[in-house]
Chains A and B, each alone.
Chain A
């Protein structure tokens, strides 16, 4: 009975993306699919990496979960659920009181992420006052505490400063404090370190992982950097041309990727290149949405594509021992991984 309860509990708190499809309205009434049939689930306490090149649909997926899609872009099928609450679905508006309270986001660009005309403490306190109905003084105190937790020195004093007095890394810490203010069950981080100096990147990632671990949050980390995923995430999913192509535990995927695209991405990372040799680039470019090639979308760039099995598709994802892959030739390929 207790097992059932705890399973139900983790259901109640996990982020469940099921069959999500997103399309943009284009000129002439056409719709261009941007994301097609994406499914994954993130349990509480789990860090999940969503990886892909620019235009693969990874950010779009994250934005849909928060109801932040631009005008003219909409969810056409599937759903995003947080426990029993549907956050996104066709024709669905974001329910009130969820954003900021149960699901929060850290953005890519910390330099533009804070209101320049508002003291940072006030910006954090605003969230607390709105969602938790805290009083002015209590919210201000809690805001300072949060700043301290994310590693800002002299938090009570710094809370009264304006954003322009903070460096990029410090601002990202403030953004994290703001996102964590209401103890959300899910934190979405969209390229949280891309705009930062390399030395600061590691600190911010450490902070994110520590906060996620301490609070048992589900973390969705959207990134194009496999190195970031390697150091922070439990599981990852790789997206290509709007679809998931591979999903599984980080260690296993890195050791033995099953999709040629994943293997190519791993081989293309400079830190995985053989010393003295250039990293192996993937030939060609990502196809633009609406102009996907027939058959396997990765086919034209794939070193393992063969006439026949790769001409029809996109094939369905197959699942075995906790891993999923979308490749017609997956069973016969033995792709090289990288040591972690």
Chain B
């Protein structure tokens, strides 16, 4: 039997290549900016987990003889106004900032996803009531509410980020509710009803997995906002309390020494910028990759 060899660039070959590469991951990883952003996020996560291992100094150790120094062999990124090692504070700050953002995203998703599923699937009066509440929360400026709650409960990063989570919950609610309404009309949900599945089982097993992808996109985009919210609240003194460091609180203290040591402002600012950019890039990349799946692969 004769083996057929395809010419190097036939339509068939392109079609075959396209088929093989059509998974979500491969489409995502074909974009260099997304790959880079994913690498950044991976590095940040590692830093957050391993901060005590990799930090060269204790982040709260003061050395008043070496205040506001520039980079040196002992302090790679210099020292701050109390002589603390800036690199170590940034590394530990990653842990605080990402942890706080994770809390806010978890609260937002934890509230928004189940309520969105219920409202979208059951509809009726419940949907009406929940949607009005969501609209009301959305109409309040997020940071202002967070500030109010943090002031009322006492300044603590946990309180502030719980408030931020509540403010971001309607975003998840809306995305999930909308997708759920689409999925609810699908024949496979009717088929599940007809096979006698309980409502909870249908929501958990048949609806949730099929609204999962927009939730993932939303998680990444919300994470970026949460980092900014944390930085903003800490900058106002409502977040993490001294001597602990987060990216935002480092900015706050450094502003006073802007003229003597501009690096103290620039470094945390740069880290915040990179982190937010990375989260948004991955979120956008995911959204594009998902959107293209519905169309003809191009």
Q: What is the bound-complex CA distance between A292 and B195, given in angstroms?
A: 36
Top-6 shortest CB links A-B = A100-B196, A117-B209, A100-B195, A112-B187, A113-B187, A115-B188
Q: Known: A105-B191, A109-B187. Contact between A99 and B205, CB under 8 A? A: no
Min CB gap B216→A, angstroms: 13
Whether a CB of chain B sits under 8 angstroms from the CB of A118 is yes
Mark each residue of chain A from 106 to 132: 1 if its CB lies under 8 Å from any CB of chain B, else 0.
011100111111100000001100110
Main secondary structure of the interface of A (DSSP, over half): loop
* Shortest Cβ distance from B192 into A: residue: A115
* Shortest Cβ distance from A103 into B: residue: B194
Whether a CB of chain B sits under 8 angstroms from the CB of A71 is yes
Q: Which of B174-201 contact A (CB under 8 A)?
A: 186-188, 190-197, 201
Q: Are A115 and B206 in contact (CB under 8 A)?
A: yes
Q: Are B194 and A117 in contact (CB under 8 A)?
A: no
Interface residues on B, range: 10 to 19
Please pick, from B186, B190, B197, the residue contacting A126 in the complex, using a CB distance under 8 A: B197
Main secondary structure of the interface of B (DSSP, over half): helix
In the bound complex, residues from chain B placing their C-beta under 8 Å from that of A181 are 195
Whether a CB of chain A sits under 8 angstroms from the CB of B210 is yes
Q: Are A130 and B193 in contact (CB under 8 A)?
A: no
Whether a CB of chain B sits under 8 angstroms from the CB of A51 is no
* Shortest Cβ distance from B213 into A: residue: A117
Q: What is the bound-complex CA distance between A113 and B191, given in angstroms?
A: 7
* Shortest Cβ distance from A113 into B: residue: B187
* Shortest Cβ distance from A188 into B: residue: B194
Q: Are B193 and A112 in contact (CB under 8 A)?
A: no
Q: Are B190 and A104 in contact (CB under 8 A)?
A: no
Q: Are A115 and B196 in contact (CB under 8 A)?
A: no
Q: What is the bound-complex CA distance between A66 and B196, given in angstroms?
A: 10
Whether a CB of chain B sits under 8 angstroms from the CB of A217 is no
In the bound complex, residues from chain A placing their C-beta under 8 Å from that of B205 are 115, 118, 126
Please pick, from A97, A100, A115, A126, the residue contacting B194 in the complex, using a CB distance under 8 A: A100
Min CB gap A52→B, angstroms: 21
Whether a CB of chain B sits under 8 angstroms from the CB of A224 is no
- Which of B123, B193, B209, B212 is the most central at the interface, judged by chain A CB atoms within 10 Å of its CB? B193
Q: Are A118 and B190 in contact (CB under 8 A)?
A: no
Q: Are B186 and A112 in contact (CB under 8 A)?
A: yes
Q: What is the bound-complex CA distance between A112 and B187, given in angstroms?
A: 5
Q: Are B196 and A127 in contact (CB under 8 A)?
A: yes
Q: Are B209 and A99 in contact (CB under 8 A)?
A: no
- Which of B124, B190, B201 is the most central at the interface, judged by chain A CB atoms within 10 Å of its CB? B190
Q: Are A117 and B210 in contact (CB under 8 A)?
A: yes
Q: Are B188 and A130 in contact (CB under 8 A)?
A: no
Q: Are A178 and B209 in contact (CB under 8 A)?
A: no
Whether a CB of chain B sits under 8 angstroms from the CB of A333 is no
Min CB gap A106→B, angstroms: 9
Min CB gap A134→B, angstroms: 14
Min CB gap A132→B, angstroms: 11
- Which of A71, A109, A112 is the most central at the interface, judged by chain B CB atoms within 10 Å of its CB? A112
Q: Which of B128-179 contact A (CB under 8 A)?
A: none
Q: Known: A112-B186, A117-B209, A117-B210. Contact between A107 and B191, CB under 8 A? A: yes
* Shortest Cβ distance from B198 into A: residue: A130
Q: Known: A117-B212, A126-B205. Contact between A68 and B193, CB under 8 A? A: yes
In the bound complex, residues from chain B placing their C-beta under 8 Å from that of A107 are 187, 190-191
Q: Are A113 and B188 in contact (CB under 8 A)?
A: yes
In the bound complex, residues from chain A placing their C-beta under 8 Å from that of B186 are 112
Min CB gap A139→B, angstroms: 13
